[in-house]
Structure 1
């Protein structure tokens, strides 16, 4: 005689959960069918009767009824974890792949190769252990452990013994500049005079189509000085960068600031040193020893804020510009300097204090500490952000002269690097002026309309004067 079926008991609380699961439209049909099995069995129906009602086998009803008795909850009706397909690559082979990836390529087994590739690792594994694996299998093994043997991350060591004191000294000048002195960041930027063989065109999708070939018309050098407190730039385009031109440029800076103490921050270029003629000692003596020269550490030109301004000039004027001769390049650079000083000059917000900490980086969802220290990047400096608008009833406040100060409330122009990063090359073709015009003056400045173009007038005194038409 057939044995009677074992009854199934469902508590009132679990019945509410089961009935709610059946009513829910988002419940998978497989799970809903199993819940109905349990509810019918709890109502007194036998396995055969439940199987006929739901259109399944009696063994299926018995299986989920037994699961419920072992663990009377809704979670027992879910699929149990499965082992999956057996591994085709054993643990020893995986460890050998990791061992190869963490070693340098051998010149005999992987000739003319400095870093590992997936195919090279698979070939090396076959040569060492006689095991054939596919490149996709090698990729999965390395990816599971976060290994990237093909990546090359450059780093630069500064041999300067006074690296940290020099960095702290420069950062102090940026963060708390002396009130009785002007801090100037001075450097040189070489520039190539390049013209495209064919003009740059605008495509239908609004992208730029630039001719690859170019014609070179020589080189020029830009001598620049960035005033840390106000963000003003003094620049001069010269044919050659040598000690004589740099000395002449420094004389210009001395005339620009006739009665103030001047702190010059620059790198260790040979023309920045005294040399045999003691040029800078004599220069300083001629001007009453009011110049103080602060040198960046070796291999640390990123500490010079003029490099940030040079990057803005490169993105907005030089990178996609086309210049038929050197005079056109000089006019474009000088025009951008005049435009910057009149409409966009602002100090950079320097955030690096000179204290080096290890920067974390992510690897597969985990934050680990990198063995090397990161000295540069967006964590060190950013331009002053655009402030929130204020009611018109509030009086305009004069702009503060310190470093890191917010720009005025009526300044409608965001930071240059932020704008160029999002708008790309919008104003880098043809003349660099007129695009990105400001809709309001700086805080405390008289209102003036932004220029549509820049006109260059050559005068007899050899000085270029710029006019900004409305």
Structure 2
């Protein structure tokens, strides 16, 4: 049985211009460009089979868009609304939720909005509130903490330490020094259950304390290796012993630049006298509340994440031994932490925070 004769199709000059433009524009959706080519070929009085062969599509596709164009003209080439329930939340409702979340205080003197309280305030469902918050990246239940340094020499200290990181002096070693104090030997009240398919490792939330120790560590900025030792107390005497350990571990021909925080044990008269007798040591102090400038804190984070957080120890001796083994393994293949921010970039970021604080209205 012969195929039915295709519906005749004629184009006005304006329609031909628009269709040709859609096929040539780089930003046009490929589906719309293909439909435009089909219609232009149909206007050449070609059969559906010929057009399908030329454009590499099925005859049914050609027939569909020929009929759609004859019926609705240019508007017929765009996608029709998909089936499903009509949208029930208006743009005004979305704006109201966003505005209330950002600018209004929640009821009952709560500190933050919840999906339940926002749903009650806007007469919407909790699921709708949740979808709107996800779409706009709003998380009222979360809060981040921050602290600004009040050190009067903050700018000078930032430039000094960042300068050491980005342009370390020649014939010298830059060491980031600090103490991880009050490391607890914790034992879980039940054995840790290992990981299994579909089930993570599990441990009890309660534990038994078996004492504390302090880890003194010096991170080599260049190599990433660590000089470390444990002490049960955290006084200037222990800090002096650690300085002597560093002095023995580093070749005598190298100067030593130590980045330290402002803890009192680093500045006692006994420490100052020892430093005068060992002039190759030079201490660079981070600003008050500026421990983030000391790269050894980044190494402490690795130690906590990879060893301490999920370990169990029944004594301080066991904890110290376990940490020493981990440090020895680290030093076999150390990974340096590379500082990338300049002092100017840091100060500009902090200036932006201060500007937001001044403009917050609080």
TM-score, with length taken from structure 1: 0.56
Offset of residue 323 of structure 1: 1.5
Secondary structure in 1 matching 2:338: strand
Q: Name the structure 2 match of 1:173.
A: 164
Offset of residue 222 of structure 1: 0.4
Alpha carbons of 1:9 and 1:325: their partners in 2 closer, same or farther (altered >3 Å)? closer
Q: Name the structure 2 match of 1:102.
A: 102
Q: Name the structure 1 match of 2:111.
A: 114
1:235-265 alpha-carbon deviations (Å, 9 max, x no partner): 1111121222112222322333445432110
Hey, what's the Cα distance between the residues in 2 that align with 1:20 and 1:169?
76
1:98-153 alpha-carbon deviations (Å, 9 max, x no partner): 332122525xx333x2111122123234xxxxxx3322343455555554444423
Hey, what's the Cα distance between the residues in 2 that align with 1:155 and 1:272?
25
Aligned Cα root-mean-square deviation (Å): 3.8
By relative contact order (CA 8 Å, sep 6+), the higher-ranking structure is 2
Secondary structure in 2 matching 1:186: strand
Hey, what's the Cα distance between the residues in 1 that align with 2:347 and 2:277?
45
Hey, what's the Cα distance between the residues in 2 that align with 1:353 and 1:233?
25
Matches within 5 A, 1:316-335: 316-335=306-325
Q: Would the aligned equivalents of 1:175 and 1:350 in 2 still touch at CA under 8 Å?
A: yes
Is it true that 1:292 corresponds to 2:282 in the alignment? yes
Hey, what's the Cα distance between the residues in 2 that align with 1:21 and 1:153?
61
Offset of residue 188 of structure 1: 0.5
Q: Would the aligned equivalents of 2:52 and 2:59 in 1 still touch at CA under 8 Å?
A: no
Q: Would the aligned equivalents of 1:104 and 1:114 in 2 still touch at CA under 8 Å?
A: no
Structure 2 unaligned blocks of 5 or more: 1-6, 12-38, 355-362
Corresponding residue pairs, total: 312
Secondary structure in 2 matching 1:350: coil
Q: Name the structure 1 match of 2:155.
A: 164
Alpha carbons of 1:64 and 1:152: their partners in 2 closer, same or farther (altered >3 Å)? same
Q: Would the aligned equivalents of 1:265 and 1:293 in 2 still touch at CA under 8 Å?
A: yes
Hey, what's the Cα distance between the residues in 2 that align with 1:96 and 1:348?
46
Hey, what's the Cα distance between the residues in 1 that align with 2:348 and 2:47?
49
Hey, what's the Cα distance between the residues in 2 that align with 1:359 and 1:282?
38
Q: Would the aligned equivalents of 1:177 and 1:229 in 2 still touch at CA under 8 Å?
A: no
Q: Would the aligned equivalents of 1:195 and 1:215 in 2 still touch at CA under 8 Å?
A: yes
Is it true that 1:340 corresponds to 2:345 in the alignment? no
Hey, what's the Cα distance between the residues in 1 that align with 2:247 and 2:326?
23
Structure 1 unaligned blocks of 5 or more: 1-6, 39-62, 126-131, 361-370, 374-470
Hey, what's the Cα distance between the residues in 2 that align with 1:261 and 1:35?
80
Offset of residue 193 of structure 1: 0.4
Alpha carbons of 1:27 and 1:117: their partners in 2 closer, same or farther (altered >3 Å)? farther
Q: Would the aligned equivalents of 1:102 and 1:149 in 2 still touch at CA under 8 Å?
A: no
Q: Would the aligned equivalents of 1:116 and 1:150 in 2 still touch at CA under 8 Å?
A: yes
Q: Would the aligned equivalents of 2:184 and 2:209 in 1 still touch at CA under 8 Å?
A: yes
Offset of residue 317 of structure 1: 2.6
Hey, what's the Cα distance between the residues in 2 that align with 1:372 and 1:17?
68
Hey, what's the Cα distance between the residues in 1 that align with 2:238 and 2:172?
24
Secondary structure in 2 matching 1:345: coil
Offset of residue 186 of structure 1: 0.8
Offset of residue 315 of structure 1: 2.9
Secondary structure in 2 matching 1:349: coil
1:190-213 alpha-carbon deviations (Å, 9 max, x no partner): 311012333334354395444444
